[in-house]
Amino acid sequence: MIITSYHPFAMQITKQHVLNALDEIDRVGIPRNQRSTKFCVVFNGVHYPPKCVLKRAYKSANGKDLSSLCGGPPTNDRLAAIDVIFKPILCPTKCGNTCKVV
């Protein structure tokens, strides 16, 4: 995997920020329009949508919203660069995060 200066904000987000994001999602759920379509971050057996996780981690780190974010590799590579445990997988069941959608 190659992380270039194209991904500067990946360096500002720490593992703790991502854990904060997962905790927030556990508490408030996932907006219907932010569900996974293909990839999931799997943590403690729970599936989370990568874009939603990265957006919330960014906000936790920087206190503001990340305006635009493309799904797929741009998101997945950033999460994997923060910590390999957050590397999204191609969801075998296309779960759509149904257990957490609000």
Q: Does position 40 bind Zn ion by CB under 5 A? A: yes
Q: Residue 64 CB, nearest distance to Zn ion (Å)? A: 28
Distance, CA of 28 to CA of 77 (rounded, Å): 25
Q: Does position 35 bind Zn ion by CB under 5 A? A: no
Please tell me the count of residues contacting Zn ion according to CB under 5 A: 4
- Binder of Zn ion out of 56, 58, 91, 100 (CB under 5 A): 91
Helix (H) or strand (E) holding 47: strand 46-48
Neighbour tally for 7: CB within 10 Å: 13
Token pair recorded at residue 3: 């992380």
* Interface ranges with Zn ion (CB under 5 A): 40, 47, 91, 95
